[in-house]
Amino acid sequence: MKLLIVTGIFPPDIGGPATYVPQIAKGLFERGHTVQVLTTSEPEHLLNDDARYPFSVFRMNRRTPLRYRPLYYTQHILHHCQGIDVIYANGVFLETALANLWLRKPLVIKVVGDEAWEIATRRRWTHDGFEDFQCQRQRMLGEVLKGLRSWALRRADKVIAPSQYLSRFVVGWGVPEHKCTVIYNAVEENEIDQTISPGKPIFLPETFDKKVRLITAGRLVPWKGVDLIIRVLPNLPGAVLTVVGDGPCRQQLEALAKLEGVSDRVWFVGAVSRVVLRSLFQKHDIFVLASSYEGLPHIILEAMQAGLAVVATAVGGTREVLHNGKDGMLVEPKEDSLSSVLKQLVQDKTFRVDLASQARSFVKEFFSCNDMIEQTQTVLLTLKGDQH
């Protein structure tokens, strides 16, 4: 099978798809398939040395002016689809669907969230949460985004979702249920790409010595709930917090830490490589994810595999990963709920170590990388044998 994987992010970017795409591409390549990856990248990464990957990587400038971007992406997809058997889109859905109107190749799309809602939220076109956004009538631009998202997904021959929760919404967007498949993400011990340069070593602040160390990671956007974690920190005098990632809310969050009187206990690291993130995980005790919405957070699997006790809000697909009190702690997205559970873990080392141990065993048993790749390969091969 000759496969083109289209993605919106790829290393050195960080995030779920940037972890998943190299993983699935390598796994399919090792199973004898010809794999090409076409990704958008920052201008400074366009000339990256991607020879370390066993598959081909081609990069598009994501800073192309917005008015030219759809045509620019579509042209690149058309160019790289020559001789391809199947297209597997992990982002850039609209342009991939547009290109495929001409190509008529078997198309698989993996959905990890609702880009329409995320864009509308970032641009303040809506104040609705993820679930309300789906059923409430939005202003014109919000409805346009919803329409484009649904149109692109309905062009797919198969849609993969990483959770049952998200799959139900995909069906609600007009994708027939028989076209939807749930394949859970996975992690493994050696998934961190050691060929990626970690950059300069990062040392913990001196104020973090002899403290219980909390860490959160992700884009600094409103629905990730980092503000909630900062607000409960005054109730945890024995704890400090590391915030990994960047985004539009960073200055606001830094101001909040100062307002809450915990600026000396909150460390904003910014965006880091996956190697550095893994290193930081090893230096912390508890991973916290306080999102108001998640499709299925890959970062939780990484934290569990790294041996951290995990506390996360009981939203979306997160409830399919964590089992409260067994391999992690689920809380309501409220200050009192998060504060109570974190206080328990900060004070009880034995409990958090036990949670971390069970979490690591759970991920190893039920989120096998081999199973994920085999299931994905089955979907792709089925379509290759049924070309239209």
Per residue in 283-318, pLDDT (tens digit) is 999 999 999 989 888 899 999 999 999 999 999 999
More confident position, 384 or 234:
234
Residue 38 forms part of a structural domain? yes
How high is the mean pLDDT of the chain? 92
- Tell me, yes or no, whether 148 and 78 share the same domain: yes
Please give the full DSSP string across 237-284, using - where no structure is assigned: TTEEEEEE---TTHHHHHHHHHHTT-GGGEEEEES--HHHHHHHHHT-
- Tell me, yes or no, whether 40 and 178 share the same domain: yes
- Tell me, yes or no, whether 146 and 263 share the same domain: no
Q: Which CATH number belongs to the domain containing residue 117 in this structure?
A: 3.40.50.2000
- pLDDT tens track for 313-364: 999 999 999 999 999 999 999 999 999 999 999 999 999 999 999 999 999 8
Residue 176 forms part of a structural domain? yes
Residue 191 forms part of a structural domain? no
Phi/psi at 55 (5° precision): -110, 165
* pLDDT (mean) for 234-238: 94
Helices (H), the chain: 16-30, 69-80, 93-103, 115-122, 130-135, 140-154, 164-172, 226-232, 250-259, 274-282, 298-305, 335-347, 349-366, 369-384
The pLDDT, as a whole number, for residue 385 is 63
- pLDDT tens track for 244-274: 999 999 999 999 999 999 999 999 999 888 8
- Tell me, yes or no, whether 226 and 299 share the same domain: yes
Lowest mean pLDDT among 6-20, 82-96, 103-117, 231-245: 6-20
- Tell me, yes or no, whether 27 and 176 share the same domain: yes
The pLDDT, as a whole number, for residue 199 is 56
Residue 245 forms part of a structural domain? yes
- Tell me, yes or no, whether 65 and 133 share the same domain: yes
Q: Taking a C-beta distance cutoff of 8 angstroms, is the pair 134, 172 a contact?
A: yes
- Tell me, yes or no, whether 163 and 256 share the same domain: no
Query: Helix, strand, coil % (nearest 5) of the chain?
Result: 45, 15, 35
* pLDDT (mean) for 153-171: 96
Structural domain range at position 245? 206-366
Lowest mean pLDDT among 15-19, 91-95, 138-142: 15-19
Residue 194 forms part of a structural domain? no
The pLDDT, as a whole number, for residue 195 is 41
- Tell me, yes or no, whether 284 and 165 share the same domain: no
The pLDDT, as a whole number, for residue 170 is 97
Whether 198 shows a pLDDT value over 60: the answer reads: no
Residue 199 forms part of a structural domain? no
Q: How many separate domains does the chain show?
A: 2
- Tell me, yes or no, whether 250 and 277 share the same domain: yes
- Tell me, yes or no, whether 214 and 171 share the same domain: no
Whether 95 shows a pLDDT value over 60: the answer reads: yes
